[in-house]
Copies of this chain bind each other. A is one copy, B any other.
Amino acid sequence: MHLEIINTGTELLLGNTLNTHLAYLGENLLPLGLRVDRQLCIPDGDIIRTALLETVGRADIVIVTGGLGPTSDDITREITAGLLGLPLVENAEVFDRIQERLRRRHREMNTNTRRQAMVPSGSIVLHNDHGTAPGLYFPPLPMPENPAVTSPHIFLLPGPPRELKPMFTDAVEPLLRSICAGRTKLAQMRNFHICGLGESEVARTVETALLALGDDIEIGYCARLSEVIVRVIGNAEQLEAARMIIAASFPMRFFAENEQTMEETVVELLKKFGRTVATAESCTGGMIANRITNVPGASSVLNEAYVTYANDAKISLLGVPPALLAEHGAVSHEVCEAMAKGCLERTGATYALSATGIAGPDGGSEEKPVGTVFIGVAAHDNHPPTVEKHFLNLDRLSFKQAASILALDLLRRRLVHPQSTVG
């Protein structure tokens, strides 16, 4: 089944709005055995006619996004109906839903909003629970200008992601399942997340074993900040075998699957063990606490956190000895350890994470260049504190992101393999 996506929207081509539809649809079509063969992005307006005509005879399924709204450049519905020779008829149910939606917002129906209730005869309405414009599905039809050729299955979906996503799940997916029944080979994708190793090292370690799982298995690697994602496409058994290979190859470094983040992994472990964490951040400036508190239910594992940017704050809030700061500087193994220990003592948390480094662009020296960072963990677990030194030669924001994921990973390793993190 050849599938194409057409994204309409001048704002996408001007760069004001990032096109997230392709990534969302690509990821959600794969479990149906479908891949996106082509994706085209065009401005609002009449060019949608040309783009749709190009797919006839080439594509089995076409998904169009955008251009269903009430403004004058929203003409996807009218153009598609015209191309297939279908008259537009006002649909009473759609009309009522639009009116009800407007009423709740104390707004009046006008000519423009009413136009959204026009439905091409022969198409199927995909109701929109998060906006006024409904989606539409057109089953294959003989093309008016050449009846020997049949149009693809055409889906018209609204542009705003918060409207498109639920419509895809609720209405498009079931239709695609019946369209594809028996015609596609169901594949599954799983992403395995590994922290603290390079892409080539990961590939070298597991590629041979993964490829031996079958001729049809597909492997991909994606390097992120301090993280490598191994993407495996195959059947359920192959994916389970891949998981075992990766877990055995990187017992300390493999931390999550699919969309699970490092902070979700850490919060899950803390909850499971009934533990708490506090943070004492210098160079990461609150990012570690921010990531932890992004996870729902984080309040059960984090009571408080400190950002101690200035030396005075490290002394007064964490009890770092002034002599230590004077002797070793704020960016040092010794101060990082003292920050973690002070944070542990003052908060009563089970674990304390610390980070001190030079995020840049200024503040580096020959001995401690921009990118130098120490991360530390102290714990009430009968093991001494651990401090690691990293060098992250990145822009300021990426430095903070990489340092915070490495700090969270240090805590994760301390939670699951405490002895492995101790010098």
Contacts and interface: CB of A to CB of B under 8 A. Distances in A.
Interface stretch (A81-89, A108-116, A296-304): A296-304
Contacts of A294: 285, 396-397, 400
A313 interface: yes
A207 interface: no
A361 interface: yes
A41 interface: yes
Contact of A13 (B20, B39, B303): B39
Contacts of A28: 15
A75 interface: no
A228 interface: no
A308 interface: yes
B296 A285 contact: no
Scoring A42, A289, A313 by chain B CB atoms within 10 A of each residue's CB, the highest score goes to A289
A304 B313 contact: yes
Contact of A19 (B22, B296, B313, B363): B22
Contact of A15 (B26, B285, B361): B26
A74 interface: no
Number of copies of this kind of chain in the complex: 2
Contacts of A418: none
Interface stretch (A30-38, A93-101, A247-255, A374-382): A30-38
Contacts of A307: 279, 286, 289, 293, 302, 304-307
A40 interface: yes
Contacts of A222: 11, 16-17
B38 A26 contact: no
A18 interface: yes
B16 A19 contact: no
A25 B16 contact: no
Nearest to A292: B285
Given A13-B26, A296-B362, A299-B310, A40 B38 contact: yes
Contacts of A285: 289-290, 292-294, 298, 302, 305
Interface string A170-182: 0000000000000
A125 interface: no
14 contacts: A12-B39, A13-B39, A14-B35, A15-B22, A15-B24, A18-B20, A19-B19, A40-B41, A284-B290, A286-B286, A286-B289, A290-B290, A303-B310, A304-B313
Nearest first, the 8 A-B pairs at minimum CB distance are A285-B293, A15-B26, A15-B27, A286-B289, A304-B313, A305-B307, A286-B286, A303-B310
